[in-house]
Amino acid sequence: MKRLFLLMLTVAAISYSCDKLLDFLIDHTFDYSHPVNLPADGPTDYSDEYTFDATDNQDVADNINNISGYTVNSLKFSIEDFVPDTGIVSGSFSFYFKNTAGNQIGDVTTKTVDNLFALSASGDKVDIPLTQGTIDAVQNEFGSTNKVTIVVSGTVSEVP
Q: For residue 121, which amino acid is it?
A: A
Burial of 93 by CB count in 10 Å (0-12 exposed, 13-18 middle, 19+ buried)?
Answer: buried
Question: How far is C-alpha 99 from the geometric centre of its chain's CA atoms?
Answer: 15
Q: What tens digit of pLDDT does each residue of 66-117 get?
A: 888 888 888 888 888 777 666 678 889 999 999 999 999 999 999 998 888 8
Domain count, the chain: 1
Q: Work out the number of other CB atoms within 10 angstroms of the CB of residue 102.
A: 8
Look at residue 6 and tell me if it is in a domain: no
CATH number at residue 41: 2.60.210
Domain that holds residue 128: 27-156
Look at residue 16 and tell me if it is in a domain: no
Cβ(138)–Cβ(106) under 8 Å?
A: yes
pTM check: above 0.95: no
Give how far Cα 69 sits from Cα of 3, 52, 140, Å. Answer: 41, 15, 8
Q: How confident is the model at residue 13 (pLDDT cuts 50, 70, 90)?
A: very low
